[in-house]
Structure 1
Amino acid sequence: MSTQHTPAVIYKEPELFYEAKIREEILKRYNIAFEVFMAEQYSRIHYSELMDDSTDESFASKQRLISWINDNTKGKEVRAGILTRYKIEHPEHFENGIWQARYFSYFVYYAKGLLTDETFVKKKEIADEFAKSFKNEQWYWQAVAVLGAKLLEYLYDMNALQTDIAKAYVRQIKLSRQLLKSIGRIMGRVAKNYGENYGYDNIEEVKEAILEIRQNIEEAFKQQMRMSYEIFKSQKEYQIYLAYRKIIKNDILEIYRENLKLPEPSFSVQENKLNQLEAGCLN
C-alpha cells in the first residue's frame, strides 16, 4: 500500500506534516471502528445463530456460503476459498502482517463478486443462487455477519487483529465451542455407559436430561458473552466505533442496494433500517 510522505519535522512543511498526521489518525480510527463492528456482528457461538437457513430454501444455505469462504482440499488439489484468495490478491490491505479493518466493506464487495461469478463457483446455478440471495436484505446482512465471523477467526489465527475487543470476542467464542464439544463427548459417553450398565429402558430420559444440562451450559456461555459486551461498551475502542457506526453500516448497505439499483431512501427509512440492524445485533 502506498503511504503518504510525512515530513520528519514540522517547520519545513507544516501543512504536509499535519495532513499526514490527521490522515494517519483517521485511518487508525476507521480500523478500530470496522473491527469492532465485525466483532459485534460475530457475537454468537454458532454460525447457525448468524444465518437462519429456514428463511427461504431458494437462497444459498449457510453451509454453502461457508464452503466457498473456506479452502477445499481434494487429495493433493486445493481450491482456494474467498479468504485465501483475498489475502493473496490484496496484500496492500495488510501492514506488517496486520490486516487493516477499514477494508472490510471492500471485502464484502469482493466476496459478493466471487460468489456470483460462475468461473469461481464453477456452476451457473450456484452463481445465480447467490445472485438471488444477495438481493434479499435479510440474507445479505446474515451473510455479512458470517463473512465477518470467518474473517475474524482467520485473522485471529494469524495474529493479525488489532483491537482488544475483537481478540477477546474470538478467543471467548473459540473457547466456548471447544468446551461445548468436549462436554458433548463426555455426555455421549455417560449415556452409553448408563445404557450398558443399567439397561436401555430409561435411556431416552437420560438423554433428555443430558441434553438439558448441555443447553444450560451453553446458555451460561451466551450470558457470559452478553456480559462481556456490556463491559466492552465502556472501552475507548467501542466509543470510537460508535462515532463511525452509521457511516460503516451505510457503506455496507450500499453494497446491497447496488444489487437492486434502488434510489436513495429517505432519511427516516434509512434510520429505521439501521436501528433494526443494531437491535438485531444485540438480541
Structure 2
Amino acid sequence: MSTQPTPTAIYKEPELFYEAKIREEILKRYNIAFEVFMAEQYSRIHYSELMDSSTDEALTSKQRLISWINDNTKGKEVRAGVLTRYKLEHPEHFENGIWQARYFSYFVHYAKELLTDETFVKKKEIADEFAKSFKNEQWYWQAVAVLGAKLLEYLYDMNALQTDIAKAYVRQIKLSRQLLKSIGKITGKIAKNYRENYGYDNIEEVKEAVFAIKQSIEETFKQQMKMSYEIFKSQKEYQIYLAYRKIIKNDILEIYRENLKLPKPSFSVQENKLNQLEAGCLS
C-alpha cells in the first residue's frame, strides 16, 4: 500500500507528521481489531460448527463452498480457489508478507463477487445457486464464518498473521485437529483388534464406548478453547477489538444489505440488528 512518507522531524512539517502518525495508529488498531474478531468468531475445530444444513431452501452446501475456497488439483492442472486468487490479485493487502486484516470485509465482498461469477465457477447453475444463497441471511453469516476460518488458517500457514491472539487460536485449532485425528486412528485400531480377537460379540458396545471416549476428548479441547478466550480478554489486543467490534459487524452486515439492494436502515433498526449480532443470533 503506497502512503506518503512520514516527515522525519516534527518541526519541519508538524501537521503532516501528526496526521501520518495518527493514520498509522488507526490502521494498526483496525488490523488488530479485525484479526482478533476473526479469531474469536470463526476459530472452531470443525467447519460444521460454523455452517449447518438446517435451512429448508436448496442453498449451497458447506462442502461446495469450501471446495471453491480451496485450490483444486486435477493431474497437473491447478484451479486457483478464492484464497489463492485473492492473494494473487491483491498483493497490496500484504505488507512485508503480513496480511493487513483491515481488509477482511473487502475480502468477504471479493469472495461473494467471485463465487457469483459464472466465469469463475464455470457453470451458470452454480453461480446462480451462490447468488441465491448469499441473499439468505442465515447462510450469509455462516458463509462469512467459513470464509473467515479458512482465511485465518491459510494465513497462519504462511506466517502472515500479526496478532498473538489470532496465532494462538489457530495454533490450538490445528493441534486439536491433529490430536483428534491420531485418537481416531488409535480407537479405530482398538475396535479392529477387538473384532479380530473376540469376533462380533459386543462389537457395537465397544464402538459406542470408543466413540464416547473420542467425544469426551474433543469436548475437553473445546473447553480449553473457551478458557483461552477468557485469558485473552485481559490482553490489549482484545480490548482494541472490543472497541471496534460493532463497527466491524456493521460493515459485514452492509455487504449483505447491499446484496439485497436494501435501503440503509434507521439508526434504531441498525442498532437492534447489531445487538442481535452481539448476542450471537446471526454469527
Q: Which category of TM-score, normalised to the shorter sequence, fits these structures?
A: over 0.9
Q: Deviations over 1:70-106 (max 9, x none)?
A: 0000000000001101111000000000000000000
Q: Deviations over 1:93-149 (max 9, x none)?
A: 000000000000000000000000000000011001100110111111111111010
Q: Deviation of residue 57 (structure 1)?
A: 4.8
The 8 Å contact of residues 41 and 281 in structure 1, kept in 2 or not, is answered as no
Q: Deviation of residue 15 (structure 1)?
A: 0.2
**1: CA distance, partners of 2:78 / 2:281:** 35
Q: Deviation of residue 233 (structure 1)?
A: 1.2
1:172 aligns with 2:172: yes
The 8 Å contact of residues 51 and 146 in structure 1, kept in 2 or not, is answered as yes
Residue of structure 2 in register with 1:45 after alignment: 45
The 8 Å contact of residues 94 and 100 in structure 1, kept in 2 or not, is answered as yes
CA 1:279/1:160 → structure 2, altered by over 3 Å: closer, same or farther?
same
The 8 Å contact of residues 71 and 79 in structure 2, kept in 1 or not, is answered as yes
**1: CA distance, partners of 2:212 / 2:282:** 25
Secondary structure of the 1:73 match is strand
**1: CA distance, partners of 2:81 / 2:213:** 37
**2: CA distance, partners of 1:113 / 1:48:** 24
- Greater shift, 128-137 or 273-282, is seen at 273-282
Report the number of matched residues. 283
The 8 Å contact of residues 43 and 225 in structure 1, kept in 2 or not, is answered as no
**2: CA distance, partners of 1:56 / 1:231:** 39
The 8 Å contact of residues 155 and 161 in structure 1, kept in 2 or not, is answered as yes
Secondary structure of the 1:3 match is coil
The 8 Å contact of residues 141 and 282 in structure 2, kept in 1 or not, is answered as no
Q: Give the TM-score taking structure 2 as reference length.
A: 0.97
**2: CA distance, partners of 1:166 / 1:16:** 33
Q: Structure 2: which 5+ runs fail to align?
A: none
Q: Deviations over 1:171-204 (max 9, x none)?
A: 0000000000100010000000011111211000
**2: CA distance, partners of 1:79 / 1:106:** 22
The 8 Å contact of residues 233 and 239 in structure 1, kept in 2 or not, is answered as yes
1:80 aligns with 2:85: no
Deviating beyond 6 angstroms after TM superposition, the runs of 4 or more aligned structure 1 residues are none
Q: Deviations over 1:188-246 (max 9, x none)?
A: 00000011111211000000011111111111111111111111111100100111111
Residue of structure 1 in register with 2:36 after alignment: 36
**2: CA distance, partners of 1:136 / 1:114:** 17
The 8 Å contact of residues 40 and 281 in structure 1, kept in 2 or not, is answered as no
Q: Deviation of residue 282 (structure 1)?
A: 11
Q: Deviation of residue 170 (structure 1)?
A: 0.2
Q: Deviations over 1:140-168 (max 9, x none)?
A: 11111110100000000000000011000
The 8 Å contact of residues 6 and 17 in structure 2, kept in 1 or not, is answered as yes
Percent identity of equivalent pairs: 91
Q: Structure 1: which 5+ runs fail to align?
A: none
Q: Deviation of residue 263 (structure 1)?
A: 1.6
The 8 Å contact of residues 37 and 245 in structure 1, kept in 2 or not, is answered as yes
CA 1:249/1:221 → structure 2, altered by over 3 Å: closer, same or farther?
same
